[in-house]
Structure 1
């Protein structure tokens, strides 16, 4: 249980995250493959210093501005995201006026309903994805199934965690993508307009905090924040941190 982990344990956040994923599997929210994905992400986070690096914070601010500019933003939710940050996703959706939509590779009616119920238990008034009355062109697997009035209609989509083929397909549809991923070399962030190279447990609250600070900003200011963000530089700086540890406290 997460409450049994001492707050001063040097691996506290990592252990809490692991337990949340384990609990997600037990609850039918997270797939067993999600355990592997979490382990891979944890390795990259360790190399990043388990902190939000400056370029990631810049990306989170740009993500907040982009979501506030959107006509129809949607936060896509998979099993790991639902297990790790359900309340935080609901809070972000409320702050920027976004829809929440469940989208899974290992899709079953039971998992879809379990995740939707989990998000609603954490305050979501409505969760999309169960209708799945449209398809993303160019994908043959279950991630292609989306709601016509959700991801299919969105102009801005936040895609959490690794999701390379769908990220490419959404870009082909002309959607602006914000991707949260700890691996700066994977397809998802390299496809994204705004790659956020950070742990989702830090990234979602940070985006929300930036959105709240920008809520009263003029449209010109928000557009300038997005225009000034350099995706290639953000990817490069994350890769440099991983390769060299530059900027970490010694």
Structure 2
């Protein structure tokens, strides 16, 4: 990858694209992931390529949910593994969450490649390889999960999610924290906490909030969760996209 000057106006975007390209070359990201990245980048551009106040609040609420959870799980697909592997591990350590690989284009080789990639970035235990349970109502490969992972979780962080699995997890009664740059997607619409932000900003932000809230009382965390208005968060993101200043 050619070195990109830090002051380049498209620095973050170009670095992100190269991470996805490298993920494809390494076998952890599917070619369809390139298309998904481009779609998300377009929404990020319309959001001003910044974390808007409603997203930062949602990230704080997501941190509170993860700290309150009995069994939180962070779901990882190929794009997540390529973009923020270290950030996933850091968040998991702060909130005591499991990390589980879940893919639409699932092969044994790709599952192991992603698991190894996460281990290289500090993950101690990566779930998803057993696939000894299924999410009801799904017929494709994303239905395959670990029984002691996503299947048994009470709170699941599902970044860059397929809408149908997000809906299926919600029907299972799980609290879903979704990171999605499109506030109108099925994933964001079905989430208890829709975080409309770029994952490269969102995960570090959630982790920072979690560190700040680690010593908070359960009552304080519950108040943060109870005070969240998911509809207002979605409306704020959509308003920014429709009315934002692109200059």
Q: How big is the shift at 1:244?
A: 0.5
**Aligned runs of 1:203-242 on 2, under 5 Å?**
203-242=202-241
Assess if the C-alpha contact under 8 Å between 1:162 and 1:186 holds in 2.
no
In the TM superposition, what is the alpha-carbon distance from 1:163 to its structure 2 partner? 1.4
Q: Tell me how large the CA RMSD over aligned residues is.
A: 0.9
Q: 1:7 — aligned with what?
A: 6
Unmatched runs of 5 consecutive residues or more in structure 1: none
Structure-1 separation of matches of 2:7 and 2:137:
48
Corresponding residue number in structure 2 for 1:87: 86
Whole-Å Cα distance in 2 between the matches of residues 124 and 243 of structure 1?
39
Matches within 5 A, 1:100-179: 100-179=99-178
Query: Match for residue 46 of structure 1?
Result: 45
> Given the two structures, how large is their TM-score scaled by the length of structure 2?
0.99
SS in 1 for 2:126: coil
Q: CA deviation at 1:162?
A: 3.2
SS of residue in 2 equivalent to 1:160: coil
> Residue 183 of structure 2 corresponds to which residue in structure 1?
184
TM-score of the superposed pair, with normalisation by structure 1: 0.98
Task: Give the 4+ runs in structure 1 shifted more than 3 A.
Answer: none
For this pair of structures, how many residues does the alignment match?
Answer: 247
Deviation per residue, 1:207-238 (Å, 9 max, x gap)? 00000000000000000101111100000000
Between the aligned partners of 2:80 and 2:58, the Cα distance in structure 1 is 19
